[in-house]
Structure 1
């Protein structure tokens, strides 16, 4: 039976992390290990991981480097990368294992906005599915793969943004990197905070700039600036 290592990058998001670790604790199938890579090196996060029996390690705050650090110590046959603010389906480990047993080397979950939902979600979800079919599924879709395939594909790029793009491209060259029908529920807080269409448009602009050769570090700084501006506008409203 395949064993799973769950790897979670975290940065000052202990409340969401606690909710995710609680979900993992009650899954029908138990992972071999849960690895939390903390970009804030927070004692609160470390204590939370001890409470749930998760492995905690500190890292500099760069998501790509955090994911690489977690993968480097993982012992499971399968690596499953999750964001801290995810809500899981009922039995995701079994769903992944069934696909892998049929010859897939990895894959990703269907993107679904969690509650509270708004009507734009009905348009954005199928648009994201179409983008993933012809483009790249991102880390908020629970990317998973056989550990050896991760190594052969070169792992995540050591970038703060778009770190999964070269990994997914290489995995698709290696074998069947498949889309699951099972949804993974994404916290809609960024869309609620910034506006559903505005956040979507800003995300697309970042992706287009990356595709045109802009450096991920520059784009990450631009993204942080957007968040600061959005927060300022909301506070002024």
Structure 2
């Protein structure tokens, strides 16, 4: 049997409604791109696991900790390339061609452009701000997805089992080792959190958490603050 060339690892929690849309997107991979789908589920009910299995994904049960879930999923994967995605995102129509092209180039880590699946000028300004941050600082976050060779991840020390800031922690370790490049395709994240809490309030809260992280707060402390907030 041919070894899959790409492992898609998706940490999930209570995503039975949104995960099927992402899994349907992943079914549109080009014929030459052999993929394995791994969903690491921390849900209290079986709904998320059921829809993942119906789509042909390997499902692994794990505690609710996104860094740990990613670590477990990566360890279960066999492919030399990894695509790490949040469960509530949507891939663009030509995602597979862009990923294939990136995989054929010199070793690097690749990310999608940030897009929120909701209307409104504040969200468009937010998307522009994220684009500028990535262009100037080469600092994408986990909700933009991450495509990278397994060898590069291992060189960076692997995924750490952090309940929050696992994405920033990994990107900061990758930056000295390889370029971080745009795939040139949007990845649409679900807009429910931005609509519920407001764009400005959510952005300010996230920025405060990142400042606390840089000042030495632990990921466990920040996770308690994040999941306690409304």
Global fold match (TM > 0.5): yes
How far does residue 31 in structure 1 lie from its aligned partner after superposition?
A: 4.3
2 CA distance for matches of 1:172 and 1:2?
27
Which residue is equivalent to 2:197?
194
Checking the alignment, whether the CA contact within 8 Å between 1:111 and 1:128 is kept in structure 2 is yes
The structure 2 residue matched to 1:175, chosen from 170, 173, 178, is 178
Q: Report how many aligned residue pairs link the two structures.
A: 226
1 CA distance for matches of 2:208 and 2:5?
38
Checking the alignment, whether the CA contact within 8 Å between 1:108 and 1:144 is kept in structure 2 is yes
Show CA shifts across 1:169-215 (max 9, x none): 22222222212221111111111000111111111111111111111
Q: What's the TM-score, normalizing by structure 1?
A: 0.89
Find out whether 1:207 has 2:207 as its counterpart.
no
Q: Show structure 1 runs of 5+ residues with no match.
A: 228-237
Checking the alignment, whether the CA contact within 8 Å between 2:4 and 2:34 is kept in structure 1 is no
Checking the alignment, whether the CA contact within 8 Å between 1:6 and 1:31 is kept in structure 2 is no
Which residue is equivalent to 1:110?
113
Find out whether 1:66 has 2:74 as its counterpart.
no
1 CA distance for matches of 2:180 and 2:107?
6
Find out whether 1:11 has 2:23 as its counterpart.
no
CA distance 1:70–1:11, shift in 2 (3 Å): same
2 CA distance for matches of 1:41 and 1:58?
10
* Structure with greater helix share of residues: 1
Q: Show structure 2 runs of 5+ residues with no match.
A: none
CA distance 1:15–1:140, shift in 2 (3 Å): same
Q: Which runs of 4+ in 1 moved over 4 A?
A: none
Find out whether 1:51 has 2:54 as its counterpart.
yes
Q: Which has the larger displacement, 97-106 or 201-210?
A: 97-106
Show CA shifts across 1:60-88 (max 9, x none): 11000000000001111210011111011
CA distance 1:2–1:74, shift in 2 (3 Å): closer
